[in-house]
Structure 1
Amino acid sequence: MGYGGWKPEDWARYSAKKVAGQSTSTIYASRVMTSEFDPKQVAFRESRDSSEHPNSTPIIIGLDVTGSMSLLLQVVAEKLGVLVQEILDRNPVTDPQIMFNAIGDAPAGDSAPFQVTQFESDIRIAEQLTKLYFEKGGGGNGFESYPLAWYFAARHTKIDSFDKQGRKGFLFTMGDDGYPEQLTQREIQRVFGDVVEADIPVAEMLAEVNRKYEVFHLCMAQGGSHRDSDLEKWRELLGERAIRVSDYQRIPEIIVSILEAMRGRSIDSVVNSWDGTTALVVKEALKGLTGITKSKGLIEF
């Protein structure tokens, strides 16, 4: 997928009709998971090169759709135009193709613990985002099922950037909770329909997905489930790729800034490219990323 091109006028029309001034529950109007986003119905999602996008770059954004994340989903919808346009204008990656994941809590029994859109390059990014089901679930167990996004990316995506050129895609999850110690056989079969031989420890799942994606998690400090101990745990797993976000409103700018840093731009120049409060929030978020090598933009796990 990933055909067509993003046009600001398309976004302006779509936002005026579907997003601007609307509540979160109105923006995300689905009351069940649509079958097109059911991972059981998806063999693979593909990010492919084409004549109009010869150097595709897959970007996966995993959203926590449990009960405490209304503000997160509101901001992502309202500022999607900022995210896409800044990526295009700043050009930290070539030919971006964006997919969204909706992440819930599989062990807690959410009916739709994982949803997955297509990789897209045009207004379909927005159209599919707002068709996701905001389940508002979760179970008070101290985590959400963020590693489901890693499993899907590792085993159910085909990306030309990596397969043809050896360039990794990018995978961002975000939320205000911790992560489980493992993905169980039971939940993998329930969510994906896959039969695996054993439970998968989360560190092993991370190592697998990291072969073809640069993986980050944005820890939402404003979320109702946020605890400093969760951030510490994320940093034990991801190191400097566990990003503390102090302001929901700056999520698009933080993602774009991470992409710029990963392509070798200095942290100082990235921070200084933003104005006022945005610069301060981006600086806080990126302060740990100085370990990225300028020559390759990679950190190996």
Structure 2
Amino acid sequence: MGYGGWKPEDWARYSSKKVVGQSTSTIYSSRKIASEFDPKNVTFRESLDSSEHPNSTPISIGLDVTGSMSRLLQVVAEKLGVLVQEILDRNPVTDPQIMFNAIGDAPAGDVAPLQVTQFESDIRIAKQLTELYFEQGGGGNGFESYPLAWYFAARHTKIDCFDKYGRKGFLFTIGDDGYPEKLTQREIQRVFGNVVEADIPVKEILAEVNRKYEVFHLCMAQGGSHRDSDLEKWRELLGERAIRVSDYELIPEIIVSILEAMSGKSIDSVVNSWDGTTAVVVKEAINGLAGITKSNKLVEF
């Protein structure tokens, strides 16, 4: 997928009708998972080169859609135009193709613990985002099922940047909770329809997805389920790729800044490209990436 191109006028028209001034429940009005976003119905999502986009770069963004994340979803919808336009204007990656995941809590019994849109390059990014089901589930188990997005990306995406050139895509998950120690056989079969021989430890599925994607998790310090101990645990797993976010409103700017840092731009120059409070929040978020991106030698898990 990934045909067409992003046009600011398309976004202005769509957002004025669907997003601006609307509540989260109105923006995300679906009351059940759409069949086309159900992983059981998806063999692969594809980010492919074309005459329009000869050097495609897949960007997967996983959103926590449990009960405490209403504000996250609203900000992502409201500022989607900022995210896409800044990526295009700053050009940290070539020919971006964006897909969204909606992530819930499989062990807690969420009906739709994972939803997956297509990789797209035009206004369909927005249309599919706002068609996701905001389930508002989750449980009191201390985590959400973020690694489901890793499993899907590892085993159910085809990306030309990696398959043709060995160049990784980018995968972000965003939420305010911890992660499970493993994906169980039962939940893998329920969510994906895949039969596996054993439970998969989270470190193993991370190592698998990291062969194809640069993986980051944005830890929302403002979320209702946030605990400092969760950030510490995320950093034990991901190192400085576990990004502390102190302001919901600046998620798009932080994602763009991570892409710029990973492209080889210095942390200082990235930070200084933003103004005022934005620069302060971005610096807090990405300062630790200096060691990862130094000399453009990326750390492997």
TM-score (structure 1 length as normaliser) = 0.99
* Within-5 A mapping of 1:111-190: 111-190=111-190
Structure 2 match to 1:249: 249
2:235 maps to what in 1? 235
Gaps spanning 5+ residues in structure 2: where? none
- State, as a whole percentage, how many aligned pairs show the same letter: 89
Determine whether 1:81 maps to 2:81. Answer: yes
Q: Aligned in 2, Cα 1:297/1:121: closer, same or farther, shift over 3 Å? A: farther
Distance 1:20 1:299 in 2: 40
Give the deviation of 1:44 after TM superposition. Answer: 0.2
- Amino acid across the alignment from 1:160: D
CA contact (8 A) 2:43 2:156 kept: yes
Alignment of 1:202-221 (within 5 A): 202-221=202-221
The question of 1:281 aligning with 2:281 is answered: yes
Say if 1:216 and 1:243, in contact at 8 Å, map to a contact too: yes
RMSD, aligned α-carbons: 0.6
Instruction: List gaps (5 residues or longer) in structure 1.
Output: none
Once the 2 structures are TM-superposed, how far is the Cα of residue 258 of structure 1 from its aligned partner? 0.1
Specify the code of the residue in structure 2 equivalent to 1:293: T
Tell me the distance in 2 between the aligned counterparts of 1:18 and 1:297: 42
What is the one-letter code of the residue matched to 2:56? Answer: S
Residue 11 in 1 paired to residue 22 in 2?
Answer: no
Q: Which string of whole-angstrom CA distances, capped at 9 and with x for unpartnered residues, describes residues 37-63 of structure 1?
A: 000000000000000100000000000
1:73-110 Cα deviation digits (max 9, x unpaired):
00000000000000000000000000000000000000
TM superposition outliers: structure 1 runs of 4+ over 6 Å? none
> For the residues of structure 2 that align with 1:106 and 1:125, how far apart are their CA atoms?
25
CA contact under 8 A between 1:245 and 1:251: conserved in structure 2? yes
- The one-letter amino acid of 1:255's match is I
Tell me the residue number matched to 2:68: 68
**TM-score, with length taken from structure 2:** 0.99
2 CA distance for matches of 1:115 and 1:298?
29
| Alignment coverage as a number of residue pairs | 301
Decide whether the 8 Å contact of 1:265 with 1:294 is kept in 2.
Answer: no
Q: Give 3-state SS (helix, strand or coil) of 1:142's partner.
A: coil
TM-fit CA distance, 1:287 = 1.4
Q: Which residue of 1 aligns with 2:201?
A: 201
Work out the CA distance in 2 between the residues paired with 1:46 and 1:74. 27
Opposite residue 215 of structure 1, the aligned amino acid is V
Q: Verify the 8 A CA contact 1:262 1:297 in the aligned structure 2.
A: no
- Give the conservation status (yes or no) of the 8 Å contact 1:33–1:115: yes
Q: Where does 1:20-99 land on structure 2 (aligned, <5 Å)?
A: 20-99=20-99
Following the alignment from structure 1 to structure 2, what is the Cα–Cα distance between the partners of residues 286 and 80? 20
Q: Is the 8 A contact 1:56 1:161 kept in 2?
A: yes
Q: What's the CA shift for 1:297?
A: 4.8
Q: Which residue of 2 aligns with 1:105?
A: 105
SS in 2 for 1:76: helix
Write the distance in 1 (CA, Å) between the matches of 2:287 and 2:169. Answer: 22
Match of 1:223 in 2: 223
Cα distance in 2 for partners of 1:65, 1:137 equals 7
The CA deviation at 1:298 is 1.5
**Separation of aligned partners in 1, 2:250 and 2:178:** 21
The aligned amino acid for 2:282 is V
